[in-house]
Structure 1
């Protein structure tokens, strides 16, 4: 699939609003990919999809809209500490290759590099558009992926934590959900409790109840509509919830 066809298929509701402006600027930087005719085709297709989605806002997020949202938020996180580490860029590429295959990943990374050149992306405006159009389980998946990017160089900096925390707030992610996902990337004495969104004073019955709640919240089927490529990340969250519960079972002997 050519880049022009890929981008035309990828953009739905994300073509409008502040995200649309960012993508428009990025496409402007990929001048060799478009003649006037192919560019017009891409934008016409995207605008048509956007109009269809606006009339059905309750419809679930499509893979292309999730993908574009992920590229923009990843760019913001990577630049949060004032420098771009090659390991973080490699992580983004590897994740896309693993999810989409080499050809589609190359298209995505090409767009990502152009997005990454933009200096004045409004985190608030982008996140509010995502919050309005994207359902909660998919937004949780975005936060999980962003922590993975931040951890790719071996260290999550305070600047990166701060920007992901800000994003989570704008995205409508609760503090407890944010701390649960964050704990999946840190090792501490109370990591298992944080993942299950409880504290150390919880009873065994409360731990069991918390596990059932978190297993339901992070079940991979929650993002089934995004395609099997995005279920891998959801499965990782689900496994960490299971591991946290099994650790507490072992420690408490129940």
Structure 2
């Protein structure tokens, strides 16, 4: 219902272009508020069901917004990180259109992370959801520090996405420094043998290899590549510390 009202309002203000814009905004509001029947969310070629690309971008931006607001303030550096990422991924014109649409929605409606994640769970593979968490941690780190409130919010989102605690801690270790980060990234204990470390590396390299994502969406591709590099770095660090050949 909202999408048609928005389309009519858009037409009255800006004629045909306004009607299209209004319809898109209204459709997204229907989706995230549960008023449009079956919501439409996209994760490109790796989705289990084909839906509109614009919906994926808006849902991704919605999750970004939730993380940015998690510590009670809106960091310009985090906002710039998201904007630069979207511009670099989708091009300036398309990215600006996504932001304009999102800003209009965000002014009037509270975005439900649980609703968005529930839909993503039905239409994405587990590896893709891991990439989304990696991207969200990248945003949180953009201002130079990942706060406890940001960690808690991403942990909450990870729960909605049905991500295992060990996988969550592995991704978090790539952004939150501690003495045993390399072990956490490889999902092993510090008491692991050299052979266990090698085995863990092979397992993690396979799990996080960019080819596992199988998508044309550049934002997710980049996240997969970054995470794969972190797994390699963790293994190389332990190789050096332990003298593993």
TM tier, shorter chain?
A: 0.7 to 0.9
Do the aligned partners of residues 78 and 212 (structure 1) sit closer, same or farther apart at CA in structure 2, a change above 3 Å counting?
A: same
Tell me which residue corresponds to 2:212: 222
State whether residues 75 and 115 of structure 1, in contact with CA within 8 Å, keep that contact through their aligned partners in structure 2: no
Tell me which residue corresponds to 1:196: 186
Tell me which residue corresponds to 1:36: 19
- Equivalent-residue separation in structure 1 for 2:50 and 2:234 (angstroms): 30
Tell me which residue corresponds to 2:222: 232
Please give the secondary structure, in 2, of the residue aligned with 1:117.
helix
Please give the secondary structure, in 2, of the residue aligned with 1:225.
coil
State whether residues 137 and 172 of structure 2, in contact with CA within 8 Å, keep that contact through their aligned partners in structure 1: yes
- Equivalent-residue separation in structure 2 for 1:37 and 1:67 (angstroms): 17
Please give the secondary structure, in 1, of the residue aligned with 2:214.
helix
Please state how far the C-alpha of 1:223 moved relative to its aligned partner. Answer: 2.2
- Equivalent-residue separation in structure 2 for 1:120 and 1:37 (angstroms): 23
Q: Which has the higher contact order (CA 8 A, sep 6+)?
A: 1
State whether residues 40 and 52 of structure 2, in contact with CA within 8 Å, keep that contact through their aligned partners in structure 1: no
Tell me which residue corresponds to 2:199: 209
User: What TM-score, normalized to structure 1?
Assistant: 0.76
Tell me which residue corresponds to 1:3: none
Please state how far the C-alpha of 1:158 moved relative to its aligned partner. Answer: 1.2
Tell me which residue corresponds to 1:176: 166
- Equivalent-residue separation in structure 1 for 2:100 and 2:92 (angstroms): 12
Tell me which residue corresponds to 2:141: 151
Please state how far the C-alpha of 1:168 moved relative to its aligned partner. Answer: 0.1
Tell me which residue corresponds to 2:237: 247
The answer to which of 220-229 and 150-159 deviates more is 220-229
- Equivalent-residue separation in structure 2 for 1:156 and 1:252 (angstroms): 30
**CA-atom RMSD, angstroms?**
3.2
State whether residues 25 and 105 of structure 2, in contact with CA within 8 Å, keep that contact through their aligned partners in structure 1: no
Please state how far the C-alpha of 1:102 moved relative to its aligned partner. Answer: 1.6
CA offsets per residue over residues 74-98 of structure 1, 9 Å max, x none?
A: 1111111111111111111011112
User: How do 1:37-52 and structure 2 match up within 5 A?
Assistant: 39=22, 50=40
Please state how far the C-alpha of 1:195 moved relative to its aligned partner. Answer: 0.6
Tell me which residue corresponds to 2:113: 123
CA offsets per residue over residues 161-181 of structure 1, 9 Å max, x none?
A: 111000001101000110111
State whether residues 213 and 221 of structure 2, in contact with CA within 8 Å, keep that contact through their aligned partners in structure 1: yes
Match of 1:96 among 75, 83, 86: 86
- Equivalent-residue separation in structure 1 for 2:189 and 2:51 (angstroms): 34
* Unaligned runs of at least 5 residues, structure 1: 1-20
